[in-house]
Amino acid sequence: MLGNFSYHNPTKLYFGEESLGFLKQELANYGKNVLVVYGGGSIKKNGLYQEIMEILKGCGKNVAEVSGVMPNPTADKLREGVRIARENNSDFILAVGGGSVCDYSKAVSVSVNCDDDPWDKYYIRFEEPQCDIIPVGCVLTMAGTGSEMNGGAVITNHEQHLKIGHVFGDNVMPRFSILNPKYTMTLPVYQMVAGIYDIMNHICEQYFSGQDDNTSDYISEGLMKGLIHASRIAVKDPQDYEARSNIMWTATWALNTLISRGKSTDWMVHMLGQAVGAYTDATHGMTLAAVSLPYYRYIMPYGVKKFARFATQVWDIPSQGKTDEQLAQQGLDAMENWMKELGLVMKISELGATEEMIEGIADATIILNGGYKVLDRDEVVKILKASM
Amino acid sequence: MLGNFSYHNPTKLYFGEESLGFLKQELANYGKNVLVVYGGGSIKKNGLYQEIMEILKGCGKNVAEVSGVMPNPTADKLREGVRIARENNSDFILAVGGGSVCDYSKAVSVSVNCDDDPWDKYYIRFEEPQCDIIPVGCVLTMAGTGSEMNGGAVITNHEQHLKIGHVFGDNVMPRFSILNPKYTMTLPVYQMVAGIYDIMNHICEQYFSGQDDNTSDYISEGLMKGLIHASRIAVKDPQDYEARSNIMWTATWALNTLISRGKSTDWMVHMLGQAVGAYTDATHGMTLAAVSLPYYRYIMPYGVKKFARFATQVWDIPSQGKTDEQLAQQGLDAMENWMKELGLVMKISELGATEEMIEGIADATIILNGGYKVLDRDEVVKILKASM
């Protein structure tokens, strides 16, 4: 059943090879002091940085920069961004990069006008912003997180071994996002497939929860089928624009709140993966891939009907003469085969996790209660060991 | 391939049995002079009118009314609404009803501050509004048109035998819509199934076009599967809240621009159905139902691959050992069986169309070029005759 909910997603999206052409008209709606946020500098190599700087200058903007935003942006880096934004009286933030850059920019946007330490306020005490929020726009260069059309922002604190996401409201969502699939095509295949699994898992986290029959799950099945199809093409030919554009668009809709409307959701794979990430600093999508099957095989008996539906509706496995358990098993086997076909990392040990870290990772795992089985700490340890 | 496109849908949605509770907070964002628009008065019988009036009074609003908006709102009625809105200096329009009331309210909203005749300006000359647009909010009582989250407004001119839709931009979309599935449950079954077919056809119009592989078609398949499933439950038990809520939510996403992003679309069934409606004043969804199969069977050879995909992905027809033609045929047969199961009207003669009207209906049919076959006038006549 669809429960009570609201839906509001005001982000304006420009999609396609010509989408950067809309940046100029969007910038006209915002202030003069622009803070440009980006990562390790790949945008300087491929020319995107120069192109954007020219557009900004053409609009008469004063430009400040935060560069070097890392794949798992840290609390310290967040504090640095807040400082630079304050020093430059930034009234607009332009994120140019992947989900980390976009997450980071949103975390800065809710912190600049707020006196508290942002890590303590948003990630330890989980408060909501009361201060003015600086508007954020995004030029996306990697498909995966969906950060371009949601209010989420994940930040990592290495000293505390914590990697935590805060999902803010629609006032923190990017005002606009520019999605050009071409920008994703210079990415290494490792990052591409990690992004693809991130997308798949976003859908699974929202799909594998609840017994009710609802529209959201049907949309999720469509998105998963499209993603699986496109990913098989992209992994053979990363330059296939059709496949890359479908992957990019699916990423946006996998995590912009639509497919969770009116239903419960799980998110335990992300809790496990983020705890692994806090210890290893590994690529986000790979941490999810490495813990997924041990987790899903463990909870499957508690949600066997949904896993059987997953098998028939997503993986086209014929149901005739099979029990729900058999189907559920075959669905997860099909997912495993697909994951290996993409070349995903299937063990957390390959990401740098060691036996000695297991207890710490278990401590860092936030246990949620939306899935088919609420785990206890022993079960978390068991799943982490099975992921080694 | 996903082409270049933009997506922006700012409508805020409140869904569920408690959704009317959000009206008060939304009204606070708009002006004092509210124009309440509704239809034949069923909202007075079920108490919704009284409930809304109390909320409006509690907010200190000045209320004017346009009642008697008909299922196919006319150009004359539109002019009446514009006059009433001007006389009352209305600065907000609250539509309470189904798609017709919502369409009508949007047509009024773009006409109040404009000197031209709205029919001539928007429906004959197809101009865009240059004047100030009055914001519209919506309390929806029928699922089908998707008008609650789009910029479309269909108006009928009986003297000219024309029923025409104008799709306005995102500034004309309702600012908010309140969707309570309970409100749809007092509707006669005839109207419910007409609405269900309207939803199905909105998806088909966007699905049956183009040869490319794209995310939009995968989402469409999910929406169709969910709709077919829920409709079978609802037609047996119209009081099934789960089914009615899924139908209502599917209606919104079937026509809020999402599933047409990056692809071509058809809309010829609507052109044929609207021309039938201009002559017969029949229920919109039934006019679509009555022309659909003759149209799809006629164009099927020109888009056989997509129709074969429709069979396997939407109707779960096994593909083994079958040609695309056979699959395509079986998919349309499955749709026909489902339509009969719902009790839809399958002939335009049952809606009041006569042999003598055929030439006139063909003249009133606007021919579009997004489908698998661009029809000529003789083909339109042929399809209309096959629909008798």
Integer-rounded Cα Rg, in Å, for chain A is 20
Below-50 pLDDT ranges, chain B: none
Residue A219 and residue B241: Cβ atoms within 8 Å?
A: no
Cα separation, A104 vs A20, whole angstroms: 21
pLDDT in tens, B53-95: 999 999 999 999 999 999 999 999 999 999 999 999 999 999 9
Count of CA atoms in the C-beta half-sphere (13 A) of B305:
6
How long is chain A? 388
Q: What is the pLDDT of residue B212?
A: 85
Q: What residue ranges in chain A does DSSP mark as E strands?
A: 5-7, 12-15, 33-38, 62-66, 92-97, 136-140, 152-157, 162-167, 176-179
Q: What is the pLDDT of residue B3?
A: 80
Average predicted confidence (pLDDT) for chain A? 97
Q: What residue ranges in chain B does DSSP mark as E strands?
A: 5-7, 12-15, 33-38, 62-66, 92-97, 136-140, 152-157, 162-167, 176-179
Tell me the pLDDT band of A1, cut-offs 50, 70 and 90: low
Residue B262 and residue A253: Cβ atoms within 8 Å?
A: no
Residue B4 and residue A10: Cβ atoms within 8 Å?
A: no
Q: Which residues pair with A66 in a beta bridge?
A: A37
Q: What is the pLDDT of residue A371?
A: 97
- Give the H or E element holding residue A56: helix A48-58
pLDDT in tens, A262-301: 999 999 999 999 999 999 999 999 999 999 999 999 999 9
Tell me whether B22 touches chain A (CB under 8 Å): yes
Mean pLDDT of A251-258: 97
Which comes out higher in pLDDT, residue A107 or B3? A107
Tell me the pLDDT band of A240, cut-offs 50, 70 and 90: very high
Q: Identify which of A339, A178, A168 has the alpha carbon closest to the alpha carbon of residue A252.
A: A178
For the whole model, what pTM was predicted? 0.97
Q: What is the pLDDT of residue B331?
A: 98
Q: Which two tokens stand for residue B165?
A: 């839709």
Q: Which two tokens stand for residue A38?
A: 């980006």
Residue A2 has pLDDT above 90, yes or no: no
Q: What is the pLDDT of residue B2?
A: 76
Tell me whether B222 touches chain A (CB under 8 Å): yes
Q: Identify which of A146, A250, A285, A265 has the alpha carbon closest to the alpha carbon of residue A205.
A: A265
Contacts of B315 in chain A (CB under 8 A): none
**Shortest CA distance from A4: residue in chain B:** B16
* Gap from A93 CA to chain B (nearest CA, Å): 20
Rounded to 10 degrees, the C-alpha dihedral B64/B70/B75/B78 comes to 10
**Which strands form B5-7's sheet, in the order they lie side by side?**
A62-66, A33-38, A92-97, A136-140, A176-179, A12-15, B5-7
pLDDT in tens, A39-48: 998 999 999 9
Q: What is the pLDDT of residue B69?
A: 98
Cα separation, B362 vs B161, whole angstroms: 11
Mutation site, A2, A212, A319, interface B, largest B CB count within 10 A: A2
Q: What is the pLDDT of residue B1?
A: 63
State the ipTM, two decimals.
Answer: 0.96
**Shortest CA distance from B181: residue in chain A:** A2
**Shortest CA distance from B212: residue in chain A:** A242
Please, are residues B313 and B222 in contact by the beta-carbon 8 Å criterion?
no
Tell me the pLDDT band of A117, cut-offs 50, 70 and 90: very high
pLDDT in tens, A30-64: 999 999 999 998 999 999 999 999 999 999 999 99
Cα separation, A72 vs A155, whole angstroms: 7
CB-based contacts of A241: which residues, under 8 Å, 6+ apart?
A181, A182, A185, B1
A293 to each of A166, A340, A383, B339, how far by Cα in Å? 25, 12, 9, 41
Burial zone of A322 (CB within 10 Å; 0-12 exposed, 13-18 middle, 19+ buried): middle
CB-based contacts of B182: which residues, under 8 Å, 6+ apart?
B17, B241
Q: What is the pLDDT of residue A245?
A: 97
Q: Which of A13, A242, A262 sits opposite B6 (nearest CB)?
A: A13
Cα separation, B44 vs A217, whole angstroms: 36
